[in-house]
Amino acid sequence: MQAISKNSTFLRNCKNLKFISKNINNRKLSSSYITLSQLQSIKTNNNYKNYSSKNLRNSLILLSSVSFLAYYANDQLQHNANSLISNDNGKNPASNKKPISPAEVAKHNKPDDCWVVIDGYVYDVSFFIPNHPGGEDVIRANAGKDVTAIFMPLHAKGTLEKNIPIENQLGPLSKPMPKKLVCPPYAPGETPYEIMTKQKLRDNMPPLGTILNLYDFERLASKILTNQAWAYYSSGADDEITYRENHNAYHRIFFKPHILVDVKDVNLKTTMLGNKTDVPFYVSATALCKLGNPEGGEVDIAKGCGSTSYMVPQMISTLASCSLDEVAEGKANDKQLQWFQLYVNSDRKITRNLIKHAEDLGMKAIFVTVDAPSLGNREKDQKIKFTTQGSEGPKILQKKGDTSNAAAEAKKKENKSDGASKALSKFIDPSLSWEDIAKMRELTKLPIVIKGVQRAEDAVRAAQMGCQGVVLSNHGGRQLDFSRAPIEVLAETMPILKHHGLDKNFDVFVDGGIRRGTDILKALCLGATGVGLGRPFLYANSCYGRDGVAHAIDIITKELEMSMRLLGVSKIEDLNPGFLDLQSLHARSVLVAKDALYENSYKEPQLAKFLIDDDD
C-alpha cells in the first residue's frame, strides 16, 4: 500500500490538476480546470517575465489554495455529511448538543476566546493554548476556523476526547464553514509546482520488486515527501557530522572470514530481553510516521513487521502519530514483539499512566530515552516552522514586508515553534536523573532499557542498578554533534562490561547509521544483542506503506543471511570480535593514495528510478 494510492480521492481529482468541487445531495456538479500544461506554460513561456512578481505570487497562492480546498472538500464529502469524531467508547458527543453556525464559530477568533472546528464538530480550546505540545501559534493563527486538514495527520485517535473536557466539546457544526475559514492541508515550504510534481511522482513509483537496497527507499522518499516531512526525518544536529559519522564508522571495520565451514543452513534467531526473535534487528522508535504515510502511520509499520516469514520487533514512540492502542491493535500477528519508547514528562503522573497503559496493552519492555534533555540544533527542521503563523498560513510562505497585525504578531513569536522536533518535545523533562530511573523500576515489572547511552561508564551504572539493558545511541545524530558513533562506543563498552561480569544477563542494543546487513553483522560480532533501524523503515513506510516495510525486512534479512554465510558462520551465537579487523575503527580520517585509473573506469551503481523523468 502506498501512503497515497493511485486510486485515492486526491489523485483522481488531481489528474492534470482537474479539481472538481461536488455538492452533497446529488446537486449539479460544478468544476474548474487548471491543467499541468497550462501551469508549465506559465513557468516556461516567454511571457512569464511579463508577469509582475505580485501577480505571479498571487496566482500561485490562489492555485495552491484552490487545489488544497478542492481536495479537502471532495475528500470530506466521501464521508457522511454529518460524520463526527466519536469518543473512544463509541458515543456521539453531538447527540445532545445544539448545532452551531459557522458565523458563531468565526466570532471566537481570539487567543482568550478560541473555537475551532475539527471534522464537523466545534471545540473551545482557549484553555488549552498554553499547554499545546505543538506550540501556541498554530492554534492562535487558526482561531475561529475549520482546522481538520491540519489536525488529522498529526494526532492520534482519541486525542480530542482525552484532552478536551466534555464542557468544551460544544456541539456539531450546522453547515460547512466558508472556504476562507477552512485551513488547507499543512504543507509549509511547498510551492504549487512542487506539490504537483510530487503527486505525479507518487503516481509513477517504481515496482516494489525493483527496490534492491535501503538506499533506494531513501532516494525515492527524498523526492516525494513534503518538505516538512523530509526536513523532520532527515535532519541531524548542527553540521550533521555525527549523523554522517554514524554510518561512516561501519566502513572502517573489515571482516576476517573463516573458510570451509558448513553454512548450508543459516539461523538468524536470537533472544532479546528474554523473548525469542526471528532476527537480530528491530524497528527503532520514530515520531510522526503519518507525516510520510498519512493513512497508515505507525500502524502500517506494525503490519509490515508481522507480514513476512520473519517477525521483527517494533519500538513505538511516545510521539507517534497513531495512538499506542491503534499500533498495538494493528499487529498482523499476535506473536509480534512490541516495545514502548518513553519520553519522561515533567508531570510524573502522566509518565506513570503511560507505563501502566503500555503494560496493559502487552508491550514487552520500556525503553526510556535519556539523551534529549534539550533538543539538538536541527537546522533543516527549524527552517520549516511546525506551525502556521498569521492569518495567511505558514510563515515561510508569508509575504515579506507584510505590515498586517497578523504578520506583526507572527514576527514577535517566530522563535516559539522552531520546527517539528522542538514543537513536539517541549514537555520532555530536562531534570530526569538516575534517581528517577530507580523509582521507575518500582512502577513496572517490564524490563527497563536506557536508550541514549554514549559512554561505557553509563552502561555499567545502568547494569549495576538493575536495568535490563541499554541502547548505545546518539539519537540518530540529532542531538550533540561530534558525539561518537554508537558502533565505536559498542567496541569500547563490551570489554568493560565483561570485566565487571555484567555482560551475561544484560542486553546491549545499538542503533544509528545502519543501512546494510554487513553493518548489523559487524555490531553483532562486537557483542550487540540487537540492532535498531529507524530512518530506513520511515522511508520504506512513506513510499510503499506496510508492503514497503515488509520488503525492507526482506532486503535486510537476505543481506544478513548471505553475509553470515560468506563470513563462515551459521548461528548468531557463534559471532565474536575475532571475525573483525578493528585497526581503523578509531581512525576517523584515513588518507590513502588515489587510484586514478580505477576511479575513472568505475561506474557507479544506479539507484531506483521513477517511471517518468524526475529531473535528476
Mark whether 251 is an active-site residue: no
DSSP 283-316: EPP-S-GGGT-TTTHHHHHHHHHTSSSS---EEE
Q: Is the dihedral of CA 535, 539, 540, 541 positive or negative?
A: positive
Q: Which among 490, 463, 492, 487 has a CA at the least distance from the CA of 477?
A: 487
Residue 574: count other Cβ atoms within 10 Å of its Cβ: 15
CA distance 549 to 300: 8
3 state SS of 100: strand
The grid coordinates of residue 210 equal 525493483
Going by C-alpha positions, the residue among 210, 228, 298 that lies closest to residue 220 is: 210
Phi, psi of 158 (to 5 degrees): 90, 0
By the 8 A CB rule, do 199 and 11 touch? yes
The answer to whether 507 and 526 have CB atoms below 8 angstroms apart is no
Among candidates 416, 405, 443, which has minimal Cα distance to 138?
416
For residue 260, what is its C-alpha cell?
570451509
What secondary structure letter does DSSP report for 399?
A: P
From 608, 511, 473, select the one nearest 551 (Cα to Cα). Answer: 608
Please say whether the beta carbons of 529 and 272 come within 8 A.
Answer: yes
Q: Residues of 55-94 as b/e, b for ≥16 C-beta within 10 angstroms?
A: eeeeebbebbbbbbbbbbbbbbeeeeeeebbbeeeeeebb
Cell 573506469, located at residue:
601
Q: Which residue, among 318, 425, 319, 310, has the nearest Cα to 363 in the 3D structure?
A: 318
Are 223 and 614 in contact by the 8 Å Cβ rule? The answer is yes
Which amino acid belongs to residue 187? A
Q: Count of residues for the chain?
A: 616
Residue 458 CB contacts under 8 Å (≥ 6 apart), including other chains: 450, 470
Instruction: Indicate which residue of 79, 475, 499, 551 is catalytic.
Output: 475
Which of 460, 457, 462 minimizes the C-alpha distance to 433? 462
Contact predicate 428/343, CB 8 Å: yes
C-alpha cell at 490: 559498542
Do strands 366-369 and 448-453 pair parallel, antiparallel, or not at all (unpaired)? parallel
Please identify every residue annotated as catalytic. 475
